[in-house]
Amino acid sequence: MKNSLHKNPWRHARERLIEAVLFLAAFSAVLITVAIVAILFYESLTFFKHVSIVEFLTSTVWTPLFEDAHYGVLPLVAGTLVTSAVALLVAIPIGTIIAIYLSEFAPHKVREIVKPFLELLAGVPTVVYGYFALLIVTPMLQMVMPGLNGFNMLGPGIVIGIMIVPYVSSVSEDAMRAVPMSLREGSYAMGATRFQTALKVVTPSAISGIAAAYILGMSRAIGETMVVAIAAGQQPTFTWDPRDSAATITAYIVQVALGDLPHGSIGYQSIFAAGLVLFLMTLAFNVLGQMIRARYREHY
Amino acid sequence: MSEPQKVKQIRALIRRLKFNDYIFSLVGLVCMMLGVITLLGLFINLLMDGLERLNYDFFTSFPSRRAAQAGILSAWVGSVLVMLVTALIAIPLGVAAAIYMEEYAPKNLLTTIIEINISNLAGVPSIIYGLLALGLFVYQLDLGQSILSAGLTLALLILPIIIVATRESLRTIPREIREAAYALGATRWQVVSDHVIPYSKGGILTGVIIGLARAIGETAPIITIGALTFIAFLPPAPFSGDPPAGMFDWMFAPFTVLPIQMFNWVSRPEEAFLINAAAAGVVIIVMTLAMNAVAIYLRYRIRKNIKW
């Protein structure tokens, strides 16, 4: 009886054990990142024993699977940047307008109904969007631009743009909603209309959050795979013209993975080198976007 | 200038500005409708193209060289099995990680590092997870191009989604609930397992469903680990066949999944296979949209019902 208030050692040990297990689960996030970086660097290192980094970064011919092999990653990077730029040209205006509308104009009811639809749009698998780009958007573009190649970067770029609209609009809307009501009320009190308030008060106050949305959207577009693998073509051509067909970094990885390359061959390692470039590009955009986003949160 | 004229001018100005408001409302509505219409148009188009192939045989036949006889049996069985492995790994790991971050984690450097890692993982392109799986699971750990490798890959991919959703749901539970339990002498784990988890079940479930819906539509990482595109057999059922298959032999079998089957058909030049691709697309879209719709509905109900 006199011991009943003492610490129960078994109960204490069980608590510590559970905490340790939960910690390990959380720590797995760090382990996954470490594993990704380690695998990409490890396999790329073997690749760079055969290929000079200078050639990799400056040559404009990428033919690692040919007899006469060249290892210039620029054509893939160009393809990736062109499709992503087209995507942003679509996603930025539409996404921003939707964000302003949802945050400043839409009645509560409209928002409740339409937002789930936007979320569904983001839930459609990318392989279906690829079908859409190849068999619907490109033929429609060919009606306007006769002579357009069946595989081109414009169609997939537009489709990726539609895909990332929900993402851009929801991050921008969050930023606009974080703008304090008093700023809007001040503007209304001066006689400004809703549109003037949205454009000249809310948007400038939320600008860093909106910029973060664009940057994070860019990172999404760069990493998008199936749409470009299906509809942009598989030829690594060094071109900045979105009407041309060209392979992106992601499309190249898919193309090699579909083939039957032996483990350890230079072709096998080339996808890790390409993947490393892709990883570093998206990482740079993500870190930049998150930094900008963290800054605007501190302001109010 | 006389007074009435000035008033007239101001009225005209107000009218013009109000008209701008009106115009922008319309533009905003049109932009949003663009999304909804795209979704509907996409779905109707797929349905019209693929409708003729959507019959019982399509679900019970293996892929074939002849488009009219090809089906998605091996693909949907593969998808279901891969999802099973993914769910078994991602749900416990993700929920446990979220509980640690919300209920246990002290504010220190290590916690910040984990925090940064979780948000960065959410931004890593899916194909990079494929490369990780190819290097680590397929070759280093020698799991081969199997259902287990694919399930593990997708589990890692959706881990951030489940962690973020679970944390959000844990955060909505007011501090008083926890304090009341502590006041009665409950330990930390008792508070978590008897109160926090049961009250946030709905939110956790929403996150899990959204994560799995994402996983079921993922194609790129599974192509990267080298899933085959033409599979005309099913993984061995436990204890079947001769000699009898082991309990977990199916995990190491080669496989294909629905999105890969669709990708395979889209990339063929023959028109007839495009019809199959559309039909497979309808199946994928219905599955993922249904899962997302359930999740959105659940979240809506939770928001409506619970008032702390």
For residue B154, how far is the Cα from the chain centroid? 10
- DSSP, collapsed to helix, strand or coil, labels residue B226 as coil
> pLDDT grade, residue A122 (50/70/90)?
confident
* Residues 6+ away with beta carbon under 8 Å from A242: A82, A83, A85, A86, A152, A153, A154, A157
Report the chain A residue with the minimal C-alpha distance to residue B116: A30
The predicted pLDDT at position B129 comes to 92
How buried is residue A76: exposed, middle or buried, by Cβ count under 10 Å (0-12/13-18/19+)? buried
Which residues does chain B have with pLDDT short of 50? none
* Chain B residues in contact with A39 (beta carbon < 8 A): 131-132, 135-136
Tokens 């054990």 locate to A17
Q: Specify the pLDDT at position A92.
A: 93
Which of B38, B46, B97 shows the shortest C-beta gap to A25? B97
**A22/B96 touch (CB, cutoff 8 Å), yes or no:** yes
pLDDT value at residue B88: 92
Residues sharing a CB contact under 8 Å with residue A26, sequence separation 6 or more, in sequence order: B96, B97, B100, B101, B105, B114
Q: What's the average model confidence in pLDDT over A224-245?
A: 79
Is B210 within 8 Å of A23 when comparing Cβ atoms?
no
Residues B94, B163: contact at Cβ < 8 Å? yes
Q: Cis omega (within 30 of 0) on the bond before B243? A: yes
Are the Cβ atoms of A36 and B132 closer than 8 angstroms?
yes
Distance from CA of A65 to the nearest CA of B (A): 17
Q: Is residue B21 within 8 Å of residue A195, measured between CB atoms? A: yes
Interatomic CA distance for residues A286 and A293, integer angstroms: 10
Nearest CA in chain A to B40: A121
Q: A165 contacts in B (CB within 8 Å)?
A: 35
Report which residue type is found at B214: R
- Residue in A256, A281, A272, A269 with CA at minimum distance from that of residue A83: A281
Task: Please compute the mean of the pLDDT values over residues A123-151 and round it to a whole number.
Answer: 83
* pLDDT tens figures, A40-57: 888 888 888 887 777 777
* Chain-chain contact of A131 with B46 (C-beta, under 8 angstroms): yes
Closest CA–CA distance from residue A185 to any residue of chain B (Å): 17
Q: Which candidate in B20, B83, B142, B266 is best for mutational testing of the A interface (most A CBs within 10 A)?
A: B266
The size of the A-B interface in CB pairs under 8 A is 259
Q: Do B219 and A19 touch (CB under 8 A)?
A: no
- The per-residue pLDDT for A299 is 57
Q: Do A32 and B117 touch (CB under 8 A)?
A: yes
B286-299 pLDDT per residue, tens = 888 888 888 888 88
Handedness of CA A130, A131, A137, A138 (dihedral sign): positive
CB nearest B20 (choices: A97, A166, A195): A195
Measured between CA atoms, the residue of chain B closest to residue A35 is B132
What distance in Å separates residue A230's CA from the closest CA in chain B?
7
- For chain A, count helices (H), then strands (E): 14, 0
Distance CA B128, CA A278 (A): 8
- Measured over the CA atoms of residue B89, residue B288, residue A86 and residue A273, the dihedral's sign is positive
**Is residue A86 classed as helix, strand or coil in its secondary structure?**
helix
**CB count, 10 Å around CB of A231?**
30
Q: Give the pLDDT confidence of A260-288 residue by residue, as tens digits.
A: 777 777 778 888 888 999 999 988 888 88
Pick from A25, A40, A114: CB nearest B131: A40
Residues in chain A: 300
Q: pLDDT for B104-139, tens place per residue? A: 888 888 888 888 888 888 888 989 998 888 888 887
Of B99, B223, B296, the CB nearest to A119: B296
Mean pLDDT of A209-232: 86
- Residue A160 vs residue B53, higher pLDDT: A160
Whether B125 sits inside 8 A of A278 (CB atoms) is: yes
Contacts of A257 in chain B (CB under 8 A): 130, 134, 223-226
Are B121 and A29 an interchain contact pair (Cβ–Cβ within 8 Å)?
Answer: yes
Confidence of residue A1 (pLDDT cuts 50, 70, 90): very low
- For chain B, helix (H) and strand (E) counts, in that order, are 12, 0
Q: Is the pLDDT of residue A300 over 60?
A: no
Which of B29, B132, B288 lies at the smallest CB-CB distance from A123?
B288
Choose the mutation target among A19, A128, A129, A256 for the interface with B, i.e. most B CBs under 10 Å. Answer: A128
State whether A15 and B96 contact (CB < 8 Å). no
Average pLDDT, chain A: 83
Q: Distances in Å between the alpha carbon of B236 and those of B58, B76, B88, B137, B261?
A: 21, 15, 20, 21, 20
pTM above threshold 0.80: yes
Contact B221, B130 (CB under 8 A): yes
**Is residue A253 very low, low, confident or very high in pLDDT (cuts 50, 70, 90)?**
confident
Residue-wise pLDDT tens digits, A75-100: 888 888 888 999 999 999 999 999 99
Cross-chain Cβ contact B189/A18 below 8 Å: yes
Determine the distance from the C-alpha atom of residue A259 to the mean position of all C-alpha atoms in its chain, rounded to a whole number: 26
